[in-house]
Structure 1
Amino acid sequence: MKASRSPARLRPYGTVAQKGAAAWRAGFAIAAMGILSACEQNTFVQPPPPKVDVAVPVQRSFTRYLEATGNTAAFKNVDLVARVQGFLQSINYKDGAYVKEGTSLFTIEPDTYKLKLEQAQAAETGSQASLRQAEADFKRQQELVQRQAVSQATLDTSTANRDNAQANLLQAQVNTKIAAVNYGYTNVTAPFDGVVSAHLVSIGELVGASSPTQLATIVALEPIYVNFNVNEQDVLRIRAEARRRGLTPDDLRQLPVEVGLQTETGFPHKGKLDYAAATLNQATGTLPVRGVLPNSDRALLPGFFVRVRVPVDEVQNALFVPDVALGADQAGRYLLVVNGENIVEQRKVRVGPLEDGLRVIEEGLKADDRVVTAGLLRAIPGQKVDPQLKKIEAQPAAAK
């Protein structure tokens, strides 16, 4: 019968085997980690710098404008009133019609005033006859006095009668002119070429009874005014530029004015400056200015809200970049520029007007700088990039 192995004799063997297996597993794990680490180090490759489009600024001249908003106003605007009393006899135009100067518009009971004119003319004729008689008597009395046939008192009476006849004639002539003027007022005519508004009175209505009665309004549409205001800073800048160029106030009044409506692109209506106030409005700090424009097609009506610009200066070799290349933060506008080492820099700039989709850079940019124009999200200041040189092209101007 075989003796059985005692558990006490087997325990040492099992313990050694377990320790060996644990050591083998730990060594395998360490080796695996080393292998993996070596693999990672060998396979890692630095990514290439991101590609961005860059371009050098476009150089060209541009005109610096003073831009403002304003309103159009009629060149002439007159209320037609009844200057004599009477019943309105006729209305001789259609409401809203364009009429020429001198066109008859209203007739106010002319018969009464025509009779008064004839009465005044008859009185003037009588005064003329009285004066002729007085002058003849005066000459006759002069001759008789020289022959001592009549007394000096008789001549004095004749002289007074002659002078009184002359005064009566002058008064009669004045009365005739007044009657003629009043008779002319019965025919209300257009004082200038223009459009007449709807009539405000009806035929048969008594007008001019106690005060002048407004009958209608006539408006001249050609040419037309545009009124706008210039702030104090712009006034100072324009005056300084005028002194530099040796311009006189008369020269400034010849500056062109360009106007555009809200629905128009650009500034298609051209004119010139007509007036500038002598003083600034202290309440608003602005200078009232007026331009005058031809309006033969009547595209502009009084009261329109318009955009106005006036050329102030011609700038040579200005720098232009695409407007989309500009960024903004709390410090203002900036551009991303790639330096000689292909590292992105953030450059603070002062911008000017927009022309054909390109923005004028007035300060902060050099002519040979490479400006990031596309891939702006990949261009991080301080990071290296792969610049792809492109050419800036003008874009169609958007409506302003």
Structure 2
Amino acid sequence: MTLLGTRFLPLIVLTSMTLAFSLPANAQQAGGKAPPPPQVTAVAVHPEEVDLSYQYAARITAYRDVQVRARVGGILMKRNFVEGSEVKAGELLFEIDPAPYEAELARVQAQLQQAQAQYAQSVRDADRAQTLVDQKVQSTAARDTAMSTRDLNAAAVAAAKAQVRTAELNLQYTKVTAPINGVTSREQVSEGSLIGTDASSSLLTSITQTDPVYINFSFTDTEAAEIRRLLDERKAKGLEANKLSVKLSFGDGTVYNHFGTIDFTSSSLDLETGTLGVRAIIDNPDRRLLPGQFVRATVTGVTVNDTIVIPEAALMQGPKGQFVYVVNNEGKAEVRPLNLGQQVAKGWIVLSGLNAGDRVVTEGVIKVKPGQAVAATDTVKQALVTQ
């Protein structure tokens, strides 16, 4: 008896201690109050007109890139520009030795005078032959011969004039001028060199026009179809379909201070990439944009109506995707899974999951649990939008 009592004594003491500690805690929980509902901020969402934008990697190309070539051969006498400088259309760039072409012009001018003299004589002979035929003192055969000679000499005069014109052009071509405004490259042939007119020996320099410049990038087929559909919808409603504008940004994040306009879209998809080639034109007065430069192009000018946008601060990520908390009529937080579109300036476009008038929790989201009562303070949407 004593042994059993000794053996069970620690168990009795331990049980008594457990009860002693647990009873006060249970009594405190039973007598305490439930925590207050978390304070949150909610905003009622409403459909609105939203400006869309699309971003692409783009590359700058010159508006025009022209090779300046010699049109006549000879000794290159002089270069009249500084390599890499800006030139104007019509400005004299090179001079080719004009002496051979001056001599050729003098020769063909003399031939023209000779042909004109022969033609004048043949005209007089033809008139005289016609007079003699009229007087019946000469045969018609002699008259016909005189008239044929007159016509042949007239053709010779025309040919001589063409030779003179060709010689004048060749003499003009000894002065090589800039065909466009732009910046020159290095000279390809030094002064004193003999140049020709074939492809291998006629190149003198190149001129690149960099104001304006082109921006080249590509739409995906899906984006191209979406943009076209949205623009057509606006036109069908009698609304103005804005021109597609392009904003450029550089690698350091700075934004270019001029806007471009899309002026060309390819009519077919690239078979290798499945994209649609697009080109925009943009002013470049300060020459900040260089041909070959990579930039980031943002296309704007597309709007969509009756669209719900929520601020990014309201979004939560769950096992099944993104969702928001909506305060229902009972003042409780309700989970709403969302199907989102693209990100815009005011937040994210909601494709499905929300209705007009839904009160979306935008602040205090991390304090909320599904089905929990919340103390929501309503505010205007614009105050909660985060860029």
TM-score bin (small chain): 0.7 to 0.9
- 2:25 is the alignment partner of 1:40: yes
Q: Choose 217-226 or 383-392, whichever is displaced more.
A: 383-392
Letter in 2 for 1:333: Q
- 2:83 is the alignment partner of 1:83: no
State the alpha-carbon separation in 2 of the partners of residues 24 and 330 from structure 1: 53
Q: Choose 262-271 or 79-88, whichever is displaced more.
A: 262-271
State the alpha-carbon separation in 2 of the partners of residues 23 and 145 from structure 1: 166
Which of 200, 205, 209 lines up with 1:216 in the alignment?
A: 205
The CA deviation at 1:155 is 1.8
User: Aligned in 2, Cα 1:26/1:276: closer, same or farther, shift over 3 Å?
Assistant: closer
The CA deviation at 1:162 is 1.0
2:350 match: secondary structure = strand
8 Å CA contact 1:352–1:362 kept in 2: the answer is no
Which of 73, 92, 97 lines up with 2:85 in the alignment?
A: 97
Match of 1:191 in 2: 179
- 2:131 is the alignment partner of 1:143: yes
Match of 1:11 in 2: none
The CA deviation at 1:365 is 2.5
The CA deviation at 1:378 is 3.6
Match of 1:202 in 2: 190
Match of 1:5 in 2: none
State the alpha-carbon separation in 2 of the partners of residues 198 and 52 from structure 1: 71
8 Å CA contact 2:41–2:364 kept in 1: the answer is no
Match of 1:241 in 2: 230
Match of 1:352 in 2: 342
The CA deviation at 1:218 is 0.9
Match of 2:248 in 1: 260
- 2:55 is the alignment partner of 1:55: no
The CA deviation at 1:367 is 4.2
2:78 match: secondary structure = strand
1:298 match: secondary structure = coil
Q: Choose 32-41 or 89-98, whichever is displaced more.
A: 32-41
Match of 1:12 in 2: none
User: Aligned in 2, Cα 1:25/1:92: closer, same or farther, shift over 3 Å?
Assistant: closer
8 Å CA contact 1:50–1:378 kept in 2: the answer is no
Gap regions ≥5 residues in structure 1: 1-14
Letter in 1 for 2:72: V
Match of 2:266 in 1: 277
8 Å CA contact 1:344–1:385 kept in 2: the answer is no
**1:122-174 CA-partner distances (Å, limit 9, x unpaired):** 21122112211111111112112211233333223322221221111111111
What fraction of aligned residue pairs are identical, expressed as a percent? 30
Letter in 1 for 2:269: L
Q: Choose 279-288 or 361-370, whichever is displaced more.
A: 361-370
Letter in 2 for 1:130: Q
Match of 1:379 in 2: 368
Which of 286, 292, 297 lines up with 1:297 in the alignment?
A: 286
User: Aligned in 2, Cα 1:174/1:329: closer, same or farther, shift over 3 Å?
Assistant: farther
Q: How does 1:6-25 map to 2 (within 5 A)?
A: none
User: Aligned in 2, Cα 1:23/1:282: closer, same or farther, shift over 3 Å?
Assistant: closer
8 Å CA contact 1:113–1:183 kept in 2: the answer is yes
TM-score (norm 2): 0.83
Gap regions ≥5 residues in structure 2: none
Which of 310, 326, 338 lines up with 2:315 in the alignment?
A: 326
8 Å CA contact 1:141–1:155 kept in 2: the answer is yes
2:285 match: secondary structure = coil
**1:27-58 CA-partner distances (Å, limit 9, x unpaired):** 77766554433312112246626735332156
State the alpha-carbon separation in 1 of the partners of residues 91 and 163 from structure 2: 27
- 2:149 is the alignment partner of 1:164: no
State the alpha-carbon separation in 2 of the partners of residues 147 and 107 from structure 1: 62
Tell me how many residue pairs correspond in the alignment.
Answer: 377
Match of 1:10 in 2: none
- 2:110 is the alignment partner of 1:122: yes
Letter in 2 for 1:37: S
User: Aligned in 2, Cα 1:265/1:134: closer, same or farther, shift over 3 Å?
Assistant: same
State the alpha-carbon separation in 2 of the partners of residues 215 and 51 from structure 1: 78
State the alpha-carbon separation in 2 of the partners of residues 267 and 201 from structure 1: 38
User: Aligned in 2, Cα 1:193/1:215: closer, same or farther, shift over 3 Å?
Assistant: same
State the alpha-carbon separation in 1 of the partners of residues 137 and 253 from structure 2: 95
- 2:354 is the alignment partner of 1:365: yes
Match of 1:343 in 2: 333
The CA deviation at 1:102 is 0.6
